[in-house]
Amino acid sequence: MSILLVAIGGFLGSITRFHIASLANKRLIGTWIANITGSILLAWLLRFHITGSISDWIWLFAGIGFCGSYTTFSTFGNETLNLIIDGQYRAAVSYVSSSLVVSLLFVFIILQV
């Protein structure tokens, strides 16, 4: 049952990420939005899971499945590498640093509340 919950969540997360990228009409911005909002959602879910406020099946479905496929390190890495290859060093540094700083800041704030 755990594998099915993760699979369904992953299916929905990947479709949601694709939809956001399509709406943004730019992969870079879409990936940034998905990674930031996914980090925020995952932090909330982790907090609720640690305190026992959500069940294991919600954690498997939403935390591991949905957030795991909604956020994407491989696309983030690929887009960063493409910026570097294209000589857009400032954009690459801004993309990486803003992704990390904003995500970690929100996760820190959520886990400290």
What pLDDT does residue 9 have?
98
In this predicted model, what pLDDT tens digit does every residue of 65-98 receive, in sequence order? 999 999 988 889 999 999 999 999 999 999 999 9
Secondary structure letter of residue 100 according to DSSP: H
In this predicted model, what pLDDT tens digit does every residue of 38-69 receive, in sequence order? 999 999 999 999 999 999 999 999 999 999 99
What pLDDT does residue 98 have?
96
Q: Please report, for the chain, the start and end positions of each structural domain, with discontinuous segments joined by +.
A: 2-112
Q: How far apart are the C-alpha atoms of 4 and 60, rounded to whole Å?
A: 9
In this predicted model, what pLDDT tens digit does every residue of 2-41 receive, in sequence order? 999 999 999 999 999 999 988 988 778 989 999 999 999 9
Torsion of CA 55, 58, 60, 66, to 10 degrees: -160
For the whole model, what pTM was predicted?
Answer: 0.87
Distance between alpha carbon 4 and the CA centroid of its chain, in Å? 21
Q: How far apart are the C-alpha atoms of 66 and 60, rounded to whole Å?
A: 9
Query: What's the Rg (C-alpha) of the chain?
Result: 15
Q: How far apart are the C-alpha atoms of 14 and 41, rounded to whole Å?
A: 15
